[in-house]
């Protein structure tokens, strides 16, 4: 997110492309979009592109939070853009120019008079950010993060109510296996993908591990199984075979001298459970709080002495690979390249995984953006709070932002460093698919 603080254009809005130029620019933009869509279809990456576009949409909703609250507060907003760099297409409505720029790596809203260094037309001074009341300034600069939290909350609610979350007390059939000997015990008994285990020999199981262990200890024993199939109770009888006698693609699953182990030929999974809208609202709020706390802990870990040392080891090439690599490498920032890769992995895993990724991104950006350092939104909040504290008897105190510029540049250098190094790590040592 960027709240731009450049001088506002002269009264009358400054130069605006004429109608023919706007049409030509829109035509070029349409060709670029069409080429992108065609490339996504040809390369079979449409689902990944859809996730990336959803992330771009979240960026613009962040900026819309700043935009709509600034408009409501009576501030002058001169630009609302997606991207940075050369302008691809834009149009003006009233005093605000809307458009798209060439590098879609973010977005920005330009509000006049963000601090004392901004030169503003005297006629616009009353409508600057710096002249607004304390509550309105805090509202405007925190609206971007608030929008991210709102998006995450809505997505969480949608997952809980319409998609469902993994049950903590049920075990289901996630898939049926194949063996060389013919139909598996599960196939012979009539188990189907999606069946939920109600009981086995009268016992209820709340975890896949417990049910798997129970079956493995009973090779050759007939098991009375009751499953829930789309709300209908179905009784079945199946007898686990000895896994030592089973082959798959010509290979024995267990050596002959291994202990006898029961096998029925299913992949166990956790079914999804939906909640009613009222319960879903409460659960979504609780989950949002959990996500925020997790992100705060992760940021603290990254910037702790151990986390910084670990990051240095990663940059020097000491990066773990394979199972458990993510844990061994510790938390780290992810570049746009890494986000696209995660989007691709999530898209292949299904809707629930995509929504969980979008929720995680929204919460992280919402929390990180409120760190009380310029140029982040939290830095503007900190300035507004400090000015409020220093103001006395109706006399407004204004922070001299010039004194904060060294610290601001240091933060910007740190952000740039994290961006470059995370890009390097995402290219040379990509994070293993976390959704497998």
Residue 224 domain-assigned (yes or no): yes
Are residue 313 and residue 430 in the same domain, yes or no? Answer: yes
Residue 432 domain-assigned (yes or no): yes
φ and ψ at residue 416, rounded to 5 degrees: -65, -45
Residue 75 domain-assigned (yes or no): yes
Are residue 282 and residue 421 in the same domain, yes or no? Answer: yes
Residue 150 domain-assigned (yes or no): no
Residue 146 domain-assigned (yes or no): no
The answer to whether 49 touches 36, Cβ cutoff 8 Å, is yes
CA dihedral for 7, 12, 17, 22, sign (positive or negative)? positive
Q: Write down the pLDDT at residue 393.
A: 81
Cα–Cα distance for residue pair 175/194, rounded to 1 Å = 8
Are residue 282 and residue 393 in the same domain, yes or no? Answer: yes
Global pTM reads 0.82
Quote the domain boundaries for residue 218.
Answer: 166-273
Are residue 218 and residue 264 in the same domain, yes or no? Answer: yes
**Interval 62-110: pLDDT, tens:** 999 999 999 999 999 999 999 888 888 888 999 999 998 888 778 899 9
Are residue 269 and residue 288 in the same domain, yes or no? Answer: no
Counted domains in the chain: 3
Residue 95 domain-assigned (yes or no): yes
Identify which of 225, 223, 220, 224 has the alpha carbon closest to the alpha carbon of residue 260: 220
β-partners of residue 145 are none
Identify which of 209, 223, 219 has the alpha carbon closest to the alpha carbon of residue 244: 219
Q: Residue 367 in 3-state DSSP?
A: helix
Residue 395 domain-assigned (yes or no): yes
Residue that is last in its domain, among 115, 132, 149: 132
pLDDT along the chain (436 residues), means of 10: 46 52 68 70 76 88 96 96 88 92 86 91 94 96 97 96 92 92 93 95 95 95 95 95 89 89 93 92 95 93 90 78 48 84 87 91 95 94 95 89 94 93 90 79
Residue keyed to tokens 């254009």 = 9
Q: Residue 196 in 3-state DSSP?
A: strand
Q: Write down the pLDDT at residue 327.
A: 44
Are residue 110 and residue 190 in the same domain, yes or no? Answer: no
Are residue 197 and residue 298 in the same domain, yes or no? Answer: no
CA distances from 214 to 245, 297, 357 (A): 19, 38, 35
Residue that is last in its domain, among 132, 151, 176: 132
Q: What is the DSSP letter of 245?
A: G
Task: Give the helix ranges, DSSP H, for 217-276.
Answer: none
Are residue 267 and residue 290 in the same domain, yes or no? Answer: no
Q: Write down the pLDDT at residue 26.
A: 66
Residue 149 domain-assigned (yes or no): no
Q: What is the CATH number of the domain that holds 240?
A: 2.30.42.10
Cα–Cα distance for residue pair 251/180, rounded to 1 Å = 9
> How far does Cα 429 stand from its chain's mean position?
21
Q: Write down the pLDDT at residue 332.
A: 81
Are residue 334 and residue 265 in the same domain, yes or no? Answer: no
Which DSSP string corresponds to 140-152? HHHHHHHHHHHHH
Are residue 17 and residue 80 in the same domain, yes or no? Answer: yes
Residue that is last in its domain, among 256, 273, 290: 273
Are residue 283 and residue 415 in the same domain, yes or no? Answer: yes
Are residue 435 and residue 365 in the same domain, yes or no? Answer: yes
**Interval 44-59: pLDDT, tens:** 677 788 888 888 899 9
Q: What is the distance between the terminal CA atoms of the chain, rounded to a whole angstrom?
A: 32
Q: Write down the pLDDT at residue 10.
A: 40
Q: Write down the pLDDT at residue 318.
A: 65
């Amino acid at each position: 997110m960027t709240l731009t603080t450049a001088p506002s254009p002269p009264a009358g809005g400054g130069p605006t492309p004429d109608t023919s130029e706007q049409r030509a620019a829109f035509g070029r933009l349409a060709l670029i979009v069409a080429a992108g869509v065609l490339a996504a279809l040809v390369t079979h990456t449409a689902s990944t592109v859809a996730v990336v576009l959803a992330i771009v949409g979240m960026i613009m909703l962040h900026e819309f939070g700043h935009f709509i609250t600034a408009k409501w507060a009576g501030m002058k907003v001169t630009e609302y853009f997606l991207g940075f760099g050369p302008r691809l297409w834009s149009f003006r409505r009233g005093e605000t120019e809307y458009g798209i720029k060439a590098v879609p790596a973010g977005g920005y809203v330009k509000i006049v008079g963000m601090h004392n260094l901004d030169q503003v037309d005297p006629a616009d001074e009353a409508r600057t950010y710096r002249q607004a009341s304390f509550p309105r300034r805090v509202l405007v600069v925190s609206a971007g993060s608030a929008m991210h939290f709102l998006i995450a909350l809505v997505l969480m609610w949608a997952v809980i109510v319409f998609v469902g979350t993994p049950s903590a007390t049920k075990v289901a059939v996630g898939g049926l296996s194949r063996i060389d000997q013919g139909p598996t015990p599960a196939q012979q008994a009539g188990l189907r993908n999606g069946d939920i285990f109600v009981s086995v020999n009268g016992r209820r199981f709340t975890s896949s591990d417990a049910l798997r262990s129970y079956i493995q200890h009973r090779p050759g024993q007939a098991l009375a199984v009751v499953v829930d199939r789309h709300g209908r109770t179905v009784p079945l009888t199946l007898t686990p075979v000895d896994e030592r006698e089973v082959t798959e693609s010509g290979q024995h699953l267990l050596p002959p001298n291994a202990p006898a182990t029961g096998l029925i030929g299913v992949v166990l999974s956790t079914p999804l459970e939906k909640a009613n809208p009222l319960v879903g609202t409460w659960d979504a709020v609780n989950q949002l709080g959990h996500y925020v706390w997790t992100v705060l802990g992760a940021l603290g870990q990254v910037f702790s002495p151990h986390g910084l040392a670990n990051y240095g080891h990663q940059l020097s090439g000491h990066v773990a690979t394979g199972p458990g690599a993510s844990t061994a490498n510790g938390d780290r920032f992810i570049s746009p390249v890494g986000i696209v890769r995660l989007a691709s992995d999530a898209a292949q895993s299904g809707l629930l995984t995509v929504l969980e990724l979008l929720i995680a991104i929204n919460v992280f950006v919402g929390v990180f953006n409120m760190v009380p350092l310029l140029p982040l939104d939290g830095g503007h909040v900190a300035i507004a709070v400090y000015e409020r504290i220093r103001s006395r008897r109706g006399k407004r105190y204004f922070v001299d932002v010039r004194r904060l510029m060294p610290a601001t540049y240091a933060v910007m250098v740190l952000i740039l460093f994290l961006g470059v190094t995370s890009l390097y790590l995402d290219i040379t040592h990509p994070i293993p698919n976390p959704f497998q």
